[in-house]
Structure 1
């Protein structure tokens, strides 16, 4: 799940779109409406941490790049919503993903992205 910081001069949904490209090498159509939020502890290289609230925007992926900005720092892996929830250690995000597992089209933000 690509995550980032708010970007000066960018709407949050646009920042999420940029992070998806930089961290996962994916492009597509992003919803301007979030599907939820979750909190997590962002741990820095020096060992300190800060509690961060992340807003989740769905992205309909049209293009998966072979080469992207952070490809040497990250490993891309595709999951079903249920598989992603199982792999995560963030209960709020797990709940958000599990809500999508049966029928993602029930969520208006996702439904509007689908062709």
Structure 2
């Protein structure tokens, strides 16, 4: 059985374990990310945000938050970075690697564990408002926007929890049989 937690967007920000442990070394950092999704007018959409430093399209992600588990930390990141509020699935759907660029230090390798979050509402006011752009994309377009190949595959192939068949994907306006480069 899948466990879901509804995040209200009211959890105070906490110091992140990964940031607290960041000693400037070359060991891989562990991060968590939220694959924020909704069904709008019968079509599956994925929320991407821009990174603060480079402006690239990414999913909300960050270090584990003290006192929260990985899925709830991912939901908190979605709230802080995108104003996305909803129900997070406690089973990760995959992971991807990237190089985290740090000010005045070498890039740090990161492994991001990704948790689906069904967005129930988008807040107008949230902690990083004004620092990022946010936009909804079809799975194929979202996959084309990100730079990390593993994340791109995850976005292109994503089906919401409970829609585990190809037929369910078609009902949401996606053709899971298409190549990941095709637009949905």
TM-score (norm 2): 0.54
Pairs within 5 Å for 1:1-115: 1-100=59-158, 103-104=159-160, 105-106=163-164
Higher helix share: 1
RMSD: 1.4
1:99 to partner: Cα distance: 1.4
User: Structure 1: which 4+ aligned runs deviate by more than 4 Å?
Assistant: none
Q: Say which structure is richer in strand.
A: 2
**5+ unaligned residues in a row in structure 1: which ranges?**
108-115
Distance 1:80 1:40 in 2: 23
Q: Which entry has the higher C-alpha Rg, 1 or 2? A: 2
Gaps of 5+ in 2: 1-58, 166-184
Q: Deviations over 1:34-75 (max 9, x none)?
A: 111000111012252111000110011111011111012111
Give the deviation of 1:97 after TM superposition: 1.2
Number of equivalent positions: 105
